[in-house]
Amino acid sequence: MRIIIVFVGQARKGPKLMEIKCENCGKIITIQGLGRKRLNIPVKIVCDALQAYPTVGRAAENLGCSRPYIYKVLKQNNLKASEIVTKGKIKIKEAK
């Protein structure tokens, strides 16, 4: 069985649509794009995990994500891992 995949016009930020045609039956099916869904872990949960675990790697393991994902979430919120946790001890940032 061979499957032909044809990309359909895509909206800039909308879902990616694809048409799949089966050569056996000839039906054309339109589906949303393939791939993994976004994690969308809120920054508060990331910060709580960083305070609960001594390293970024352990926090990432607990959250089920990668270390770069944690750094990305922190960067989007203008934070650094060193501001939240330093060598396993909680570091509290003073408000200005």
Going 52 to 53 to 56 to 57, the CA torsion angle's sign is: negative
Please write the tens of the pLDDT for every residue from 49-67. 998 987 899 999 999 999 9
Structure tokens at 19: 């048409």
Please write the tens of the pLDDT for every residue from 61-87. 999 999 999 999 999 999 988 888 765
- pLDDT for the residue numbered 29: 77
- pLDDT for the residue numbered 41: 93
Q: Where does residue 38 rank: exposed (0-12), middle (13-18), buried (19+ CB within 10 A)?
A: exposed
- pLDDT for the residue numbered 96: 53
Give the span between the Cα atoms of 83 and 58, in whole angstroms. 17
Please write the tens of the pLDDT for every residue from 9-34. 544 556 667 777 877 888 887 777 66
CA neighbor of 88 nearest in space, from 51, 43, 41: 51
Give the span between the Cα atoms of 80 and 73, in whole angstroms. 10
